[in-house]
Chains A and B, each alone.
Chain A
Amino acid sequence: MAGSGCDLFEFGHRACGGCGAALAARLILDAAGKDTIVCSSTGCMEVFSTPYPETAWKVPWIHSLFENNSAVASGVEASLKKQGRKEKVIALGGDGATFDIGVLCISGAFERGHDITYICYDNEAYMNTGIQRSGATPYDASTTTSPAGKCSLGNKRQKKDLPAILAAHGAPYVATASIAYPADVKKKIQKALETKGPCYVQIHAPCCTGWGFEGEKTMAIGKLAVETGLWVNYEMEEGKVTRAKKVVRKPVEEYLKEQKRFRHLFKPKRNDEEIGKIQAIADRNAERYGIDLKIKKD
Chain B
Amino acid sequence: MMEIMEGSHAVAHAVKQCRPQVIAAYPITPQTHIVEALADMVADCHLDAEYVTVESEFSALSACLGASAAGSRVYSATTSQGLALMFEVCYNVAGMRLPIVMTIVNRSLGAPLSIWNDQQDSISLRDSGWLQYYAQDNQEATDLHYIAYKVAEDHDILLPAFVCLDGFILSHTYEPVEMLTQEQVDSFLPAFSPYQRLDADDPISFGMYATPEYYMEFRYEIDRAMQRSKKAFSAAGKEFADLFGRDYSAPVEGYRLDDADTALVAMGSICGTAKDAIDEMRSSGRKVGLLNVRTFRPFPGPEIAKALSGVSRVAVLDKNISLGAKGAMGIEVKDALYGSGIPVLDYIIALGGRDVRKKDIAAVVDMAEKNQGDLFYGLRKEVL
Contacts and interface: CB of A to CB of B under 8 A. Distances in A.
Interface of A: 34-37, 39, 46-47, 50-53, 55, 57-65, 67-68, 71-83, 87, 104-105, 107-109, 111-112
A65 B66 contact: no
A104 B55 contact: yes
A296 B74 CA distance: 59
Contacts of A55: 205, 208
A82 B65 contact: no
Contact of A112 (B52, B56, B74, B204): B52
Interface string B201-238: 01111111111001000000000000000000000000
Which of A50, A53, A75, A82 has the most chain B CB atoms inside 10 A of its CB?
A75
B70 interface: yes
B45 interface: no
Nearest to B203: A60
Contacts of A82: 21-22, 49-50, 72
Given A51-B208, A83-B71, 6 more contacts: A64-B92, A71-B66, A75-B52, A75-B63, A76-B198, A112-B52
Nearest to B204: A60
B59 interface: yes
A55 B64 CA distance: 24
Contact of B88 (A35, A57, A65, A81): A65
B55 A111 contact: yes
Interface in B48-80: 49-50, 52-56, 58-59, 62-72, 74
A62 B207 contact: yes
**Chain A to chain B: the 8 pairs with minimum beta-carbon distance, closest first:** A75-B66, A108-B55, A75-B63, A71-B62, A79-B70, A75-B67, A72-B66, A50-B208
B183 interface: no
Contacts of B202: 60
B315 interface: no
B211 A52 contact: yes
B209 A50 contact: yes
B200 interface: yes
Contacts of A37: 70, 198, 200
Contact of A68 (B49, B59, B68, B96): B59
B376 to A, nearest CB: 36
Contacts of A52: 208-211, 214
B24 interface: yes
A206 B203 CA distance: 29
B158 interface: no
Contacts of A59: 200, 203
Given A53-B214, A68-B58, A108-B54, A79 B203 contact: no
Interface in B155-210: 198-200, 202-210
20 contacts: A35-B200, A37-B70, A51-B210, A60-B205, A61-B205, A72-B62, A72-B65, A74-B54, A74-B59, A74-B62, A76-B69, A76-B70, A78-B63, A78-B66, A79-B50, A79-B67, A83-B21, A87-B198, A105-B56, A108-B59
B368 interface: no
Given A39-B66, A60-B204, A64-B92, A74 B52 contact: yes
Most buried by B among A36, A39, A72, A107: A72
Nearest to A66: B88
Contact of B208 (A39, A63, A105): A63
A76 B67 contact: yes
Interface residues of B, number: 42
Contacts of A39: 66
Give the interface centre of A46, A52, A53 by most chain B CB atoms within 10 Å. Answer: A52
Contacts, number: 163
Contacts of A108: 54-56, 59
Contacts of B198: 37, 60-62, 76, 87
A79 B209 contact: no
A237 to B, nearest CB: 25
Contacts of A78: 22, 24, 50, 52, 63, 66-67, 72
Contacts of B52: 74-75, 78, 112
A34 B203 CA distance: 9
Nearest to A47: B209
A77 B66 CA distance: 8
A44 to B, nearest CB: 11
A94 B207 CA distance: 17
A63 B53 CA distance: 22
B62 A83 contact: no
B87 to A, nearest CB: 11
B131 interface: no
Contacts of B89: 64-65, 68
A126 B177 CA distance: 54
Most buried by B among A35, A61, A111: A61
Contact of B72 (A65, A68, A71, A83): A83
Most chain-A Cβ atoms within 10 A of its Cβ — which of B59, B88, B92? B59
A76 B50 CA distance: 11
Contacts of B67: 75-76, 78-79
A81 B50 CA distance: 8
Contacts of A53: 208, 214
Contacts of B88: 65
Contacts of B92: 64-65
Contact of B205 (A57, A105, A109): A57
A65 B55 CA distance: 17
A76 B205 CA distance: 14
B204 to A, nearest CB: 6
A36 B198 CA distance: 10
A63 B95 CA distance: 12
B206 A62 contact: yes
B295 to A, nearest CB: 27
A62 B71 contact: no
Select the residue from B52, B62, B72, B207 with max chain A CB neighbours within 10 A.
B62
B209 A51 contact: yes
A75 B55 contact: no
B63 A74 contact: yes
A13 to B, nearest CB: 12
